[in-house]
């Protein structure tokens, strides 16, 4: 299936992917209104150290430890895409304990959030990829 893959050598560490992610998931239609003076909580996060930069988001694993370990059944995998039902989630953080990539993060509503490939928001396909100026994140089959 198509996933968000990282081309580490192309990543500039600009963090734009984080802003596009936060905007796409804000539910707002104006990027300035959505992000100005706002502490963003993106589902993709860039790690930086010296000259090395790369973005980390959900891998949509074939053997998803977060889904298998979820105590509520809030995390499910459908057609390969791992989704979170925030109504069912109680914020126990067993998924944060389980995810080998650190890709499930607490959300502002007190439960957790993760990349759902923008399939359910207005972007329709990964906004981080569309917004990356250097093809350091791509959405493709590998």
**Binding site residues, another protein, CB under 8 A:** 3, 5-8, 47, 49, 52, 54-56, 59, 65, 68-69, 71-73, 87-88, 90-102, 104-106, 142
Closer CB to another protein, 37 or 49, in the complex = 49
Three-state secondary structure call for residue 24: helix
Tokens representing residue 76 in the block: 């499910």
Q: Under a CB-based contact definition with an 8 Å cutoff, are residues 128 and 4 in contact? A: yes
CB 100, min distance to another protein, A: 4
Distance CA 6, CA 136 (A): 6
Tokens representing residue 46 in the block: 């860039």
Closer CB to another protein, 71 or 122, in the complex = 71
Closer CB to another protein, 27 or 100, in the complex = 100
């Amino acid at each position: 299936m198509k996933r968000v893959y990282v081309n580490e050598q192309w990543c500039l560490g600009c963090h734009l992917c984080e802003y596009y992610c936060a905007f796409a998931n804000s539910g707002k239609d104006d990027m300035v209104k959505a992000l100005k003076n706002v502490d963003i909580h993106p589902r993709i996060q860039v790690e930086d150290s010296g000259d090395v930069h790369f973005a980390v988001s959900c891998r949509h694993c074939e053997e998803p430890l977060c889904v298998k370990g979820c105590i509520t059944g809030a995390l499910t995998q459908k057609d390969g895409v791992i989704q979170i039902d925030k109504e069912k989630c109680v914020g126990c953080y067993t998924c944060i304990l389980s995810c080998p990539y650190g890709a499930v993060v607490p959300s502002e509503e007190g439960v957790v959030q993760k990349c759902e490939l923008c399939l359910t928001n207005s972007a329709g396909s990964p906004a981080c990829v569309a917004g990356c100026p250097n093809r350091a994140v791509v959405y493709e089959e590998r």
